[in-house]
A and B are shown apart, each in its own frame.
Chain A
Amino acid sequence: MPRDMQLEQLAQHTDAALLDRYAAGDPAAARALTLRLVPRALGYAARLLGDAAEAEDVAQEAMLRLWRAAPGWRSGEAQVTTWLYRVVTNLCTDRLRSRKRRPVTALEAAPEMADGGPGAVAGMIEADRMAALQAALDALPDRQRQAVVLRHIEGLTNPEIAAVMDIGVEAVESLTARGKRALSAILAGRREELGYEDED
């Protein structure tokens, strides 16, 4: 069977079903899981760390742990993505502790984003806005940053975030609310610079 067709069929499987197939020795499942999960692990790590190279290392390490956990994986105990986000969170926390938060240099270190393609000027504005968002995220306390990124960029629900962060749903709501207020305050002074005044 051609590889593309095989991947298309596997794309309909749940993460847990793919992990089962991987553990049973199906190499196509390894490819499908890689394509599905690496972008999520990488994107989340990049937002937490503000450093593309470190985010790649974290994503690779988290996936390696998933491969090793696959043979003993019990479906129904935890969602694969929840588990993966938790591992990425822990790996990023370790890295942030060890490097002792650098001063905000996110404009230079911001991860490379996919090109939206709406034209060069608009693209530059978007890139500036993303860099500003990353710089503001970097300024948040770790837990607030994790909660805000999981909720508003990764699109997880509050109960899912609670499972990832091992806290209650109310604590998640509190963290995201405080995080958003802090982000708004940080970005408020840059509205004009980021091109928002012109749109009113």
Chain B
Amino acid sequence: MKTRIDPMRAQDDLEDLFATARHMPVRPSAALLDRVLADGLDAQPRPHTAPLMRPPAAAAGGLWSRLAALFGGAGALAGMGTAAAAGLLIGFAQPSNLATLEDAMLGSPLETVELVPSVDGFLVGN
């Protein structure tokens, strides 16, 4: 003959099981706690990390870093370098297009420009 179970009693049993479960918590192993803590320390932001890291980085740059700082940053230094390289190239290669441009602007080849009258001319004139 099948026994009929009182629903209230079944509820009480369940509450009893819950209470037991609350008092028997799952205990983490030491290995798990160690792993979690290691993750935490690895991921932890380091205080003063940025100020401490910057000076070695600057020193590592050496001459170029100091030059860049002197000329107002790496961008300015790069611009000056490019201009210097272009000047050297034009001076050595003397591109024909440049001569054409010179003729067009000045009309004829310019041999001499006397910016200060010679001493002889000065004396003759007086």
CB distance from B33 to the nearest CB of A (A): 6
Structural contact, B23 and A180, CB atoms closer than 8 A:
no
Structural contact, B33 and A34, CB atoms closer than 8 A:
yes
Interface magnitude class on chain A: 35 or more
Which of A25, A30, A55, A184 makes the CB contact (< 8 A) with B14? A184
Structural contact, B44 and A22, CB atoms closer than 8 A:
yes
- B41 located at the interface, meaning its Cβ lies under 8 Å from any Cβ of chain A in the complex: yes
- B79 located at the interface, meaning its Cβ lies under 8 Å from any Cβ of chain A in the complex: no
Whole-angstrom CA separation of A59 from B40 in the bound complex = 13
- B43 located at the interface, meaning its Cβ lies under 8 Å from any Cβ of chain A in the complex: yes
> 0/1 per residue, A164-200, Cβ < 8 Å to B?
0000000000000000100111011001001010000
Which residues from chain B contact A47 at a C-beta distance below 8 Å? Answer: 21, 26
Q: Which of A94-132 contact B (CB under 8 A)?
A: 111-114, 116, 126, 129-130, 132
CB distance from A47 to the nearest CB of B (A): 8
**Chain A residue with the shortest CB-CB distance to B13:** A196
CB distance from B28 to the nearest CB of A (A): 5
- A78 located at the interface, meaning its Cβ lies under 8 Å from any Cβ of chain B in the complex: no
**Chain A residue with the shortest CB-CB distance to B23:** A116
Q: Of A1-9, A63-71, A82-90, A138-146, which stretch is located at the interface?
A: A63-71
Q: Which of B75-109 contact A (CB under 8 A)?
A: none
Which of B23, B39, B43 makes the CB contact (< 8 A) with A60? B39
Which residues from chain B contact A74 at a C-beta distance below 8 Å? Answer: none
- B18 located at the interface, meaning its Cβ lies under 8 Å from any Cβ of chain A in the complex: yes
Known contacts being A56-B32, A113-B26, A196-B13, is A188 close to B39, with CB within 8 Å?
Answer: no
Known contacts being A113-B27, A114-B25, A129-B20, is A60 close to B36, with CB within 8 Å?
Answer: yes
Chain A's interface: helix, strand, loop or mixed, by majority? helix
Whole-angstrom CA separation of A113 from B24 in the bound complex = 6
- A42 located at the interface, meaning its Cβ lies under 8 Å from any Cβ of chain B in the complex: yes
Known contacts being A23-B45, A112-B26, A184-B10, is A133 close to B21, with CB within 8 Å?
Answer: yes
Which of A24, A27, A116, A183 makes the CB contact (< 8 A) with B41? A27
Which of A27, A33, A43, A60 makes the CB contact (< 8 A) with B32? A60
Interface, chain B (partner A; CB < 8 A): 5, 7, 10-11, 13-15, 17-18, 20-29, 32-33, 35-37, 39-41, 43-47
24 contacts between A and B (CB under 8 A): A22-B40, A25-B44, A25-B45, A30-B40, A35-B33, A38-B33, A39-B25, A39-B26, A42-B26, A43-B26, A60-B32, A63-B40, A64-B36, A67-B39, A67-B44, A113-B24, A116-B23, A116-B24, A129-B17, A130-B20, A133-B18, A155-B22, A184-B11, A194-B13
